Structure 1
């Protein structure tokens, strides 16, 4: 009886193996991919042909260009500051000094553990309340809030990426550098960090793309970014699809070149295994 069951199960397995072959799985994947692509292209074509008011679209392009420039300024400044600060946060996370390590860890845990929206409210509403009414010295506080909040938030993520990159470098390299008489700072700067940067580059680049998309939250602090323009046009024209097209184009105009830049830097750093 046991031998019969074994043969039966073996026959069923062989039948399944005959149905699920590499070739069939490949073509099933191709079919699903093509069907999904056709569905997306069809939906986009339907929207562009039936729901977009091209007269309105061309009329509001200048407003989106202005929002694009404003967002790009915030992104460039915040990205540079976040990456720079993140390197120091990452160094603090691997520091052997307990105080430095504890402060860096607390920083990362707070800014990764609370929503960016919450951090925006703290900076935008909380800090001005420390001054008497009407005496807050900063005029364009929404722009300053955007830069400060995005920098502080993303420096925590960059710091974790840098920490992972440093930890991925074999410990023997630091020991070898120190045995040659190099100081800890020189060893880190000349030996460890260049390799850590290559290890962390993909994660850092991905975080900068997320930073671009996080600018959509700035609408809650009255910063005239891309989605703010969308909301205003939709409220006045009761036409969501026309400005939505420009929202997509505007964000992609930032994120696609950024992703291409990251890929270029990865290639220059000889990312991955070389043949």
Structure 2
């Protein structure tokens, strides 16, 4: 890009930059396309992470030393390494195939990462349940696994909802690094627009506002769910 072009971009008014970054050549569609991929990654990862979290939480609180060891290794390794490194390992090492889907790799990487945090969130929820609940279930003739499934886990999940909501919101923001493997997510699309317009303020502000709207909306949704659950308890 020449010096003259740089001066020309700098001389644009904000309205002109807004037009270049959003309206011209239907560039707003790129944001929607990127947002679609970001939401797919997030939803897929939170489902996978929740399943893995429950499984490894149960392994960690089991009576078997081997199962507890496996769970501890998984949780410690995942929580102790950056998510972007995990993403690169999944895409370039674990799924090292020319036909590897970037979307699948992203969901897998972020899901594995989220699973470690969800496991600890649910474990903390289980620990918050009165131990007498397990004893009461056993006295009613339930096995340990049945008491855990029907008595402890429902209460633990409800107690974990605020922290789980925070993990969901953090996960949405973490998916912004999916562009490291060439995934055309929301942040990557903003980079594409910047490369075409040589102007970064509008694309970056737009992406920031979209993420802000999503996270604020989810915060209100989870707060509403929490209030509904508390109303049920008071009844």
**Matched residues in 1 for 2:15 and 2:170: separation?**
29
TM-score, normalised relative to structure 2? 0.86
**Greater relative contact order, per chain length (Cα 8 Å cut-off, separation 6+):** 2
The unaligned stretches of length 5 or more in structure 1 are 1-48, 130-135
- The separation in 2 between residues aligned to 1:140 and 1:125, in whole angstroms, is 9
Aligned to 1:269: 229
**What displacement does 1:252 show?**
2.8
What's the counterpart of residue 149 of structure 2? Answer: 189
Gaps of 5+ in 2: 1-12
Q: How many Å separate the matches in 1 of 2:186 and 2:105?
A: 17
Shift of 1:189: 1.1
Q: What secondary structure does 2:230 align onto? A: coil
C-alpha contact 1:75 1:211 (8 A) present in aligned 2 = yes
Query: What residue number does 1:30 align with?
Result: none
Q: List structure 1 segments (4+ residues) > 3 angstroms apart after TM superposition.
A: 49-52
Which region of structure 1 is more displaced relative to structure 2, 161-170 or 228-237? 228-237
1:166 aligns with 2:133: no
CA contact (8 A) 1:219 1:225 kept: yes
Q: Distance in 1 between matches of 2:155 and 2:115?
A: 19
How far apart are 1:245 and its partner, in Å?
2.5
Pairing 1:179–2:134 present: no
Kept in 1, the 8 Å contact 2:91–2:100? The answer is no
Cα pair 1:52 1:242 within 8 Å, conserved: no
Return the offset for 1:236: 2.3
Are the counterparts in 1 of residues 95 and 105 from structure 2 also a CA contact under 8 Å? no
Instruction: Give me the TM-score of the superposition, normalised by structure 1.
Output: 0.74
The structure number with the bigger radius of gyration is: 1
Output one character per residue of 1:74-131: Cα deviation in whole Å (capped at 9) or x when no partner.
Answer: 11111112112211121222112211111111110010011111111111111244xx
